[in-house]
Amino acid sequence: MNDLQDLATLLAKPEPPREAVDNGRHKLQNAMLNPSPARKHKKAWLAGGFGLTATTAAAVVLVSAGTGDPHAPNSPPDPQMTARQVLLAAATTAERLPDKGVYWHIKLEQRERPGAAPDMSESWIKRDGRVWFKGRKSDGRLIQIGDQRWGIGPLDVSLDQLRRLPSKPEDLKGWITDAVKRSDIRTSAGRLTAAQQKQAVFQGLVSLISTLPTPSKTRAAAFRAIASYPHVKSTGKVPGGQGLQFPSETGDTVRMVIDPATSQLRQTNILVWTDGGEWITSGTYTLTTEWTNVQPR
């Protein structure tokens, strides 16, 4: 383990959660698989060509949700990782994780506001693409979902395509960029501008570190590609990991916490779901994702 990973592990110890609140607007894409309705963004992608799904895309901003541990008197302050260090540490962790297990398991907890009762749900994605869900929308019963879409941001893909994505950051970013250019993704104003295309590429990279069952090496490449964006900024240690921040084209402030010691996206107020759609809450989403052999239950 290198010095950067040691530092990431040291700084990523869990703390009691504190939720961050931020208003957002977006449209509910999948009533069964997602926890609650959300309001529509100012701009929405319209599917057409290249097998695209009708999802929305907005920039994701990774931000602080709290403060670090208090220091003992006369103790030196904890060193703060830069945004690039956080993302590269998460990448190093991600590429070392084995892609073993029958099911990709997602635990999701949503709180509409600080102190509110959580809305809990779980999803299991089998390697053959079958999906099971349990949560409030199913009255707590385990049910199987049919005709599941898979999206890298606004791009509709198959699980096979997801498994064959490049494992080098420049190649991965280039693949998504080319796919976006060749697609017919549109907003209500028409075809994407050059700036909107860049936004869609970034959205695709974020989707690969969110809820998708992304292969470890591709997940690592996505972290490294995001680290290359110059406007990403660190906000320091927060409950659950490290907070990062960068601006959104739509003007929304999006908040996430990444744990570089596990490469997990731990908390966010924008959730990128497996179909590529984004979900906004005025409270927080808390995530746990992993490969497992335990059957849906």
Mean pLDDT of the 75-97 span: 86
Largest pairwise CA distance in the chain: 62
Q: What value, to the nearest 5°, has the Cα angle with vertex 259 and ends 274 and 12?
A: 165
pTM of the full structure: 0.74
Q: Please determine, for residue 41, whether its predicted confidence score (pLDDT) is greater than 80.
A: no
pLDDT at 43: 40
Sequence-distant (6+) residues with CB within 8 A of 225 are 169, 170, 172, 173, 205
- Does the pLDDT of residue 6 top 60, yes or no? no
pLDDT above 80: residue 252 = no
Query: For the chain, where are the E strands, in sequence order?
Result: 103-111, 119-126, 131-135, 143-145, 150-152, 155-157, 186-187, 190-191, 233-238, 241-245, 256-259, 264-272, 278-292
Judge whether residue 63 has pLDDT over 50: no
Q: Tell whether the model's pLDDT for residue 115 goes beyond 90.
A: no
Beta carbons of 106 and 290 less than 8 angstroms apart:
no
The pLDDT value given to residue 95: 95
Task: Give the Cα separation of 78 and 80 in Å (integer).
Answer: 6
Q: Taking the mean position of all CA atoms in its chain, how far away is CA 295?
A: 24
Spatial separation of the C-alpha atoms in residues 85 and 5, rounded to whole Å:
9
pLDDT band of 45, cuts 50, 70, 90 = very low
Token representation of residue 95: 């590429």
Return the pLDDT at 78: 56
In the chain, pLDDT over 70 holds for what percent of residues? 71
Structure tokens, 257: 């916490």
Question: What's the pLDDT score for residue 190?
Answer: 87
Please classify residue 3 by burial: count the beta carbons closer than 10 Å to its beta carbon, then call 0-12 exposed, 13-18 middle and 19+ buried.
Answer: exposed
The span from the first CA to the last CA of the chain, in angstroms, equals 36
pLDDT digits (tens, 9 = 90+) for 143-165: 999 878 899 988 999 999 999 99
How many CB atoms lie under 10 A from the CB of residue 59?
A: 21
Domain boundaries, the chain: 3-70+77-292
Confidence (pLDDT) at 250:
63
Split at pLDDT 50, 70, 90, the class of 13 is: very low
Question: What digits encode the pLDDT tens for the residues 186-242?
Answer: 888 888 888 889 888 988 998 999 999 999 999 999 999 999 988 888 889 999 999
- Select from 35, 12, 20, 65 the least CA-distant residue to 271: 35
**Summary mean pLDDT of the chain:** 78
